[in-house]
Homo-oligomer: A and B are copies of this chain.
Amino acid sequence: MDSRKIIVSYRLPANIDTEKYATMLAVGQTTGSWDEAFPDQQAEMANYRADVLDVLPVDDKHAIARIAFPSQNTENDIPSLLTAIFGKFSLAGPARICNIELPEKYGINAQFGIEGIRKQTSIYDRPLFMGIFKPALGLKPENYATLLRTVADAGLDLIKDDEIMFNLNSAPTLDRVKACQPIIHEMNDKHGRQLLYAVNLSGRADQLVSNARQLIDAGANALLFNVFAYGFSCLEALSAHPEVNVPIFTHPALAGVLGGSTSGNNDYGIDYNILLGTLMKYAGADAVLYPASYGSLPFDHQIEMQIRDILRSADKNRTPAMPVPSAGIHPGIIGTAYQDYGNDVVLNAGSAIFDHPLGAAAGVRAFQDAWELTKSGQPVTLENANSQVLIDALKKWGEEK
């Protein structure tokens, strides 16, 4: 592959002249048709044109066209990339982006990734467990501090804000950080390792970096960011900034607007492996949340595995990013998740920690007990469970299948 080319695969409906359509796309997204107005520039213009590499049928209903774009058509970032390859054509009729291959050094590399997050948490030899503050709205900062103390003392590795916990009057973001920061220090002293609290970063694009700095100065040791709501340009600003020196966890909120149904019957939009894999990776995310296929949201297992592989991919220009399968994660899926992910994963749970029948500390311990079973090669079943906290969790959310 020419290292200066961007190769984009578009899924097209098979009931059209796909060759012609692909050529229209390649020309329409780049030089357009051109006349002889500037004869001296003809050769130069040709350098910006995209070329159709091939158009191959995939099934009765679809063909995939691969088109090569010169990377010089972009500014080496995600917004110019997406505009250059799909800006106009997304409105032109059925076409769905199902793959993007980018040049080696494209975009931004994560500052932390898997290795950085492990170093921060001092945990190297097992999956990490993350909680999500619940309830998301209506609590005071000191309530979150109380919740945090409970789960941190039980040994939770990471916690995050819910994605709808904005800078609201009831619990301003900076106040949440200030309330939780002493607990993190206290627990660090007690347990000898640091809990990461991914604080939901919000605000206007021109103030996001300074908002992040303010939270970090107050003790925030990780950030959560709603990329699809704020824009990839905002993520890039954060991940490229040397003073935003904490891991950035990206949230998939609104991804469904761009990705639509995961049934594969979609003729528009962008596939989830690109939205939650490739684009996050090349915009510098350290850890990426996305729906787990064995969770509460409808999500395809094959897509989940593609996202995992894209995030964890590495070469000399690219650090592996941490996969964070989410939504409906509970102790009964730890065994299955371990088969899919091994150790390099953050398992992220809201209800299964904070709604555990015996309380949030029991919720954390149920995950730890489930992990002990998995580590020793036993399925996480009621039969194998040897603690009340795990038994209660498996009764409420189900055992390993």
Chain A residues within 8 Å of B, Cβ to Cβ: 29-35, 37-38, 41, 44-49, 72-75, 77-80, 82-84, 86-94, 134-140, 143, 147, 163-164, 166-170, 202-209, 226, 229-234, 236-237, 240-241, 251-261, 266-270, 291, 297-299, 327, 350-351, 354-355
Partner of A261, one of B73, B94, B234, B297: B94
Q: In the complex, what distance in Å separates the CA atom of A283 from the CA atom of B367?
A: 43
Residues of B within 8 A of A83 (CB): 163-164, 166, 226, 229, 253-254
Residues of B within 8 A of A269 (CB): 257-258, 260, 269
Residues of B within 8 A of A291 (CB): 91
Query: Are the C-beta atoms of A92 and B233 separated by less than 8 Å?
Result: no
Listed A/B pairs (14) with beta-carbon separation below 8 Å = A29-B164, A31-B135, A72-B169, A72-B170, A73-B166, A82-B229, A83-B226, A86-B257, A90-B255, A91-B252, A92-B256, A92-B297, A94-B261, A205-B206
Q: In the complex, what distance in Å separates the CA atom of A184 from the CA atom of B138?
A: 55
Copies of this subunit:
2
Q: In the complex, what distance in Å separates the CA atom of A87 from the CA atom of B267?
A: 22
Query: Are the C-beta atoms of A231 and B202 separated by less than 8 Å?
Result: no
Query: Are the C-beta atoms of B80 and A202 separated by less than 8 Å?
Result: yes
Query: Please, which residue of chain B has its CB at the minimum distance from the CB of A140?
Result: B41
Q: In the complex, what distance in Å separates the CA atom of A49 from the CA atom of B164?
A: 12
Query: Are the C-beta atoms of A254 and B48 separated by less than 8 Å?
Result: no
Query: Please, which residue of chain B has its CB at the minimum distance from the CB of A132?
Result: B32
Partner of A41, one of B33, B82, B138, B254: B138
Query: Are the C-beta atoms of B256 and A231 separated by less than 8 Å?
Result: no
Q: In the complex, what distance in Å separates the CA atom of A83 from the CA atom of B200?
A: 12
Q: In the complex, what distance in Å separates the CA atom of A257 from the CA atom of B257?
A: 8
CB distance from A174 to the nearest CB of B (A): 13
Q: In the complex, what distance in Å separates the CA atom of A230 from the CA atom of B208?
A: 14
Query: Are the C-beta atoms of A203 and B75 separated by less than 8 Å?
Result: yes
Query: Are the C-beta atoms of B34 and A135 separated by less than 8 Å?
Result: yes
Q: In the complex, what distance in Å separates the CA atom of A33 from the CA atom of B24?
A: 50
Query: Are the C-beta atoms of A257 and B47 separated by less than 8 Å?
Result: no
Q: In the complex, what distance in Å separates the CA atom of A75 from the CA atom of B135?
A: 19
Query: Are the C-beta atoms of A236 and B204 separated by less than 8 Å?
Result: yes
Query: Please, which residue of chain B has its CB at the minimum distance from the CB of A137?
Result: B48
Residues of B within 8 A of A89 (CB): 256
Query: Are the C-beta atoms of A204 and B77 separated by less than 8 Å?
Result: yes
Query: Are the C-beta atoms of A138 and B92 separated by less than 8 Å?
Result: no
Q: Given A75-B167, A163-B88, A297-B92 in contact, is the A233-B208 Cβ separation under 8 Å?
A: yes
In the complex, given contacts A34-B138, A83-B226, A91-B252, what are 11 additional A-B residue pairs having Cβ atoms less than 8 angstroms apart?
A32-B351, A83-B166, A88-B164, A92-B297, A204-B233, A204-B236, A229-B231, A230-B231, A230-B232, A231-B233, A266-B268
CB distance from A252 to the nearest CB of B (A): 6
CB distance from A385 to the nearest CB of B (A): 23
Residues of B within 8 A of A30 (CB): 136-137, 164
Query: Please, which residue of chain B has its CB at the minimum distance from the CB of A270?
Result: B257
Q: Given A137-B48, A139-B38, A268-B256 in contact, is the A232-B233 Cβ separation under 8 Å?
A: no
